[in-house]
Structure 1
Amino acid sequence: MTAANVIAFQTATQGRLASVASPSLSDLTPMLAAIAAAAPLHDREASFPFDSIARLREAGILALTVPTALGGGGAGLALAAEAVARVGAACPATALVLAMQLTRQAAIARSAAWPFELRQRIGRDAVTEGALINALRVEPELGSPTRGGLPATVAKLRAGHWSISGHKRYATGAPGLAWMEVLARTDEPQPRIGTFLVPADASGIEVIETWNHLGLRGSGSHDVVLTNVTVPLDHGIGLVPAAEWGKPDPAQSAWTALLVSAVYTGVARAARDWILRFLHARVPSGLGTPLAELPRVAEAVGEIERALAVNARLTEAIALAVDAGYPPLPSESGLAKVTLTENAVQAVERAVSLAGNHAHDRAHALERHWRDVQCARVHVPTADAALSAAGRAALNTARPQEIRH
């Protein structure tokens, strides 16, 4: 990606990121309009948005967080979050794939566990081909590994290679992935856990089209079954004893929390824009004036603006801290994810309440925005897990003191 093609967002975000040292901005409006125009069809047909992904590739956005030394954008979290939110307003299914891509590329770039040659290859593939990568962790029996337990996916050590077998769920972007980071355990007497880099076109991989959800229907979050998939020895990355795996990484926790949440902030922005147009255009015959002129409507719209303003400032503050090398504690990132996604859900639901019956009509985009934003709550950490983790942390640091009446 040349300097002329690098994406930055200072101008398009009204200066919110003016303090961020990042590449100069090109106008994304035509591309985002094309992605938005394709979104209803992908939602209706539950089809993977290959066309929208291709537009992101042509603009260089799929390599936004690849280091500049490899030809990427070298973007930090602040810029990546705004990119995801803007795409999320156009097509959240596409934005979720983008969020996974930017998160993984940034993680690989800063990880000492990845062999140098693999880091170089993965980054350059994103730059030259727009190659997508995602981490496959969830399993039918295990659920999310964040709640503990050994993965059932097994990597067996053979002569000069690993052989991997297992079943993964919710593999976002599965139809378009070039690379899969597969969480697995070894079959050693003392199992180790780590990720195994698997080419998506490797023999023994089957994508089973199971994704048929209420929202984000185009995200291609299908099941992936691996049967004796062979990968080189150096594709086993970060292997550690089971007891040592899963220690939270503050930077990774912040990237995941903010980019996943940005998808739904984008949905809330789109819902806000839709309801504003509706309120100005809707003139009930008994009222004789647009709904936008009613004081109670202005107050309700103000609630939407509050949620979006908080999301913008909270995202910006955390992202700038991470980009400066001061990520929050993982428990704080979890709380941020819950706050950001709840604000997005509440903003869309307030728009739905203002639109009344129109919000339930599939002829209107607001109906789709409402379905899409419902997915915000199921991403890890879920509210119960995030609140419990923060509560335990607080209780563990408390000091017993005499209770005075």
Structure 2
Amino acid sequence: MSSSARVLDAELLHRIASRAAGHDRDGSFPADDLDELRAAGYLAALVPEALGGWGLTLEQLTREQSRLAAAAPATALAVNMHLVWTAVAKTLHDRGDASLDFVLQEAAAGEVFAFGVSEAGNDLVLFGSTVEAAPRPDGSVAYTGTKTFTSLSPVWTRLGAFGLDTASADAPRIVWGFLDRDADGIEIVEDWDTLGQRATRSDTTRLHGAVVRADRVVRRLPPGPNPDPLIFGVFVNFEILLSSVYAGVAHRAVELAAEAAKRRSSLKLGGAPRSDDPDVRRRVATAAMLDDALDPQIRSLARDVDTAADHGPRWFAKASGLKVRVTEGAKAVVDQAILVGGGSGYAASSELSRLYRDVLAGAFNPSTADSALGTIASAVLGPPSS
């Protein structure tokens, strides 16, 4: 990272961390966090300086997202969805494709982009859809259907989404576009009541003929795997930035484990701190060793995006594999940390307890382990013969 690169202020992160437990307890959206992050310019962290942003690389942003996640995992995960869209736009922009430059410009102006991708029962994810995308004579598209896990639900102003057009002459086509918040036919169902990552407010979004303007329809693609740069950008940036959030959870868990080991005393050791207990030392060392492996993987793949490295068809395998390794590794770190913390860590008010609940969400974020293994198998062995 360049010494001149912008970073999140330590005092800002401290304030965000001080509010995290309350937002988790209440299941409330961290609007105060978002306001401060927006004021600091963080929503435009990836936007080139010439367009009014910080001008960070993806590699640099992964570091900042990990720092933010260590302070407040749910805030980081929610903001992550906005940052993914700016990362996609930057990836295309860097490769000479200006079709999403408006995302960069509007992010710099304060707009908040949300991810309208997940659909219940859609295990094709990016390559299929249960949402209808009905073309209109003026080139606009009306979306009808349901999107789940729409983080930033209380505050987003732009929703990047897709649906399936089955009516046009070239149908079927997956149609990608960006909805404005004030479009008719958008219903947000406040149903986000989860074990962890509660403050993301990833409520369900129902679309009732909600219209994307013609100038915001950005792709019409055949269903199924597709080499289009937009699909590449969405998949790879999502996995990398998601991984950076869960790495931040792991980093904080190691810190808390070390603090607990030094704070707690042991009758067995004559009142000495638990950090002198060989079993505790082994658990903390195990957590730290697992944690040390996370950042290098993330930074390496992010750097490859920044430099347009050519991994060919292995890109999807590399990105999905990274996400699974990091989220599973982060959970293993938190597992060790919470045992070091002892019974007090089991209290609902404990930060380690909150991290434990938050890290579990990584298993449900795409790509799942099964999906990633299928992708990697196809990359290494080729598609199944039957």
TM over 0.5: yes
Q: Is the 8 A contact 2:173 2:221 kept in 1?
A: yes
CA contact under 8 A between 1:108 and 1:114: conserved in structure 2?
no
- Indicate if the aligned counterparts of 1:23 and 1:73 stay in contact, CA closer than 8 A: no
SS in 2 for 1:126: helix
Distance in 2 between the 1:109 and 1:25 partners? 17
Counterparts of 1:110-189 in structure 2 under 5 Å?
110-111=91-92, 119-129=100-110, 131-143=111-123, 145-146=125-126, 148-159=127-138, 161-186=140-165, 187-189=167-169
Match of 1:265 among 225, 234, 247: 247
Match of 1:101 among 82, 92, 99: 82
Q: Distance in 2 between matches of 1:290 and 1:133?
A: 48
Residue 233 of structure 1 and its aligned partner are, at CA, apart by 1.3
The correspondence of residues 6-405 of structure 1 with structure 2, limited to 5 A, is 20-21=1-2, 23-26=4-7, 28-111=9-92, 119-129=100-110, 131-143=111-123, 145-146=125-126, 148-159=127-138, 161-186=140-165, 187-189=167-169, 190-242=171-223, 245=226, 249-250=231-232, 252-287=234-269, 288-326=271-309, 328=311, 329-396=315-382
Letter aligned with residue 309 of structure 2: Y
Aligned 8 A contact 1:251 1:322 in 2: no
Contact in 2 for aligned 1:180/1:200 (Cα 8 Å):
yes
Are the structure 2 counterparts of residues 23 and 124 from structure 1 closer, same or farther at C-alpha, using a change threshold of 3 Å? farther
The count of aligned residue pairs is 376
1:20-72 Cα deviation digits (max 9, x unpaired): 34743456111001111111111111111100011111111110011222111
Q: Determine the C-alpha separation between the residues in 2 that align with 1:69 and 1:286.
A: 62
Cα separation, partners in 2 of 1:44 and 1:114, compared to 1, 3 Å: farther
- Aligned-residue sequence identity (percent) comes to 27
Provide the C-alpha distance between the structure 2 equivalents of 1:262 and 1:307, rounded to a whole number of angstroms: 15
Moved more, 83-92 or 314-323: 314-323
Structure 1 stretch 342-351 or stretch 309-318: which is displaced more? Answer: 309-318
Q: Which range moves more in the overlay, 25-34 or 106-115? A: 106-115
Structure 1 residues 65 and 335, CA gap change in structure 2 (3 angstroms)? same
How far off is 1:159 after superposition?
4.1
Instruction: Give the TM-score normalised by the residue count of structure 2.
Output: 0.90
Determine the C-alpha separation between the residues in 2 that align with 1:144 and 1:214. 26
> Would the aligned equivalents of 1:145 and 1:151 in 2 still touch at CA under 8 Å?
no
Unaligned runs of 5+ in 2: none
**The residue matched to 2:177 in structure 1 has which SS?**
strand
**1:128 CA displacement:** 2.7
Match for 1:86: what amino acid?
Answer: R
Q: Is the 8 A contact 1:103 1:256 kept in 2?
A: yes
Alpha-carbon contact 2:156-2:181 (below 8 Å) kept = yes
Query: Cα 1:374–1:156, aligned 2, differ >3 Å: closer, same or farther?
Result: same
Structure 1 gaps, min length 5? 1-19, 399-405
Over the residues paired in the alignment, what is the CA RMSD in angstroms? 2.5
Distance in 1 (alpha carbons) for counterparts of 2:264 and 2:237: 40
Deviates more, 1:101-110 or 1:256-265: 101-110
User: What residue identity is the alignment partner of 2:332?
Assistant: Q
Given that 2:144 and 2:207 are in contact with CA atoms closer than 8 Å, whether structure 1 keeps it comes out as yes
1:402 counterpart residue number:
none
Distance 1:110 1:232 in 2: 23
The answer (yes or no) to whether the contact 2:345–2:353 under 8 Å persists in 1 is yes
> Which secondary structure does the structure 1 equivalent of 2:266 belong to?
coil
* Contact 1:138–1:144 (CA under 8 A) maintained in structure 2: no
